[in-house]
């Protein structure tokens, strides 16, 4: 067998390359599975527990854990909050593209909006 530059390639080299490809594919699969399990576990926590976050204080990581909200929507929520100001009701989320109907219904039980003059309990 010859390589692209026309030099001979040994069987051992071909096996090593094949094994490297197999290992890389296995690692990629493990990463995908790990992310899937982490996301499912995080979402199951939100569904199993009565977690409630304040839309005006939530971080991107907290928003990302809401059922049906991924990194893109979490970023869109933060961007909306920065440009439009504080949320006054959870229903305002429906003004963001991608948060309508069933998706909003799934996350609204995890949302709250404190009045501007109210401070979180731990402060």
Domain count, the chain: 2
Residue 40 and residue 71 in one domain = no
Q: Across the chain, which distance is largest between two alpha carbons, in Å?
A: 76
Q: Which two tokens stand for residue 49?
A: 């527990």
**So what's the pLDDT on residue 72?**
93
The predicted-structure confidence for 92-122, as pLDDT tens digits, reads as follows 999 999 988 888 998 888 899 987 765 555 6
Position 11 scores a pLDDT of 76
State residue 120's pLDDT score.
57
d(CA 31, CA 15): 24
CA distance 75 to 110: 18
The angle at the Cα of 117, spanning 66 to 92, to the nearest 5 degrees, equals: 40
Flag whether 40 is in a domain: yes
In a domain, 120, yes or no: no
Residues 6 or more apart whose CB falls under 8 angstroms from that of 94 comprise 100, 104
**Confidence at residue 65, expressed as pLDDT on a 0 to 100 scale:** 84
Domain-located, residue 2: yes
Residue 59 and residue 107 in one domain? yes
- pLDDT tens digits, one per residue of 7-37: 676 877 888 888 888 888 888 767 766 666 5
* 58 and 108 part of one domain: yes
Domain assignment of residue 23, yes or no: yes
Q: What local confidence, expressed as pLDDT, does residue 66 receive?
A: 87
Q: Per residue in 72-97, pLDDT tens?
A: 999 999 999 999 999 999 999 999 99
The predicted model gives 61-75 an average pLDDT of 89
Please report whether residue 98 resides in a domain.
yes
Rounded-to-integer distance, Cα 69 and Cα 77, Å: 10
Q: Is residue 69 part of a domain?
A: yes
Domain boundaries, position 35:
1-49
User: Do both 102 and 60 map to the same domain?
Assistant: yes
Position 56 scores a pLDDT of 93
CATH number of the CATH domain containing 103: 1.10.150.320
Q: Is the pLDDT of residue 44 over 60?
A: no
**Contacts by 97-104 with C-beta closer than 8 Å and gap 24+?**
98/72, 98/73, 99/69, 99/73, 103/68, 103/69
């Amino acid at each position: 067998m010859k390589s692209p530059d026309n030099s001979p390639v040994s069987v051992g080299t071909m096996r090593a390359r094949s094994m490297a490809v197999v290992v890389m594919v296995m690692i990629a699969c493990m990463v995908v599975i790990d992310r899937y399990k982490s996301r499912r576990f995080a979402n199951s926590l939100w569904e199993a527990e009565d977690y409630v976050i304040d839309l005006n204080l939530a971080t991107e990581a907290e928003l990302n854990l809401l059922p049906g909200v991924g990194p893109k929507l979490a970023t869109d929520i933060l961007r909306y909050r920065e440009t439009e100001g504080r949320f006054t009701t959870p229903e305002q989320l429906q003004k963001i593209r991608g948060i309508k109907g069933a998706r909003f219904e799934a996350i609204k039980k995890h949302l709250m909006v404190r009045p501007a003059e109210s401070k979180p309990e731990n402060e």
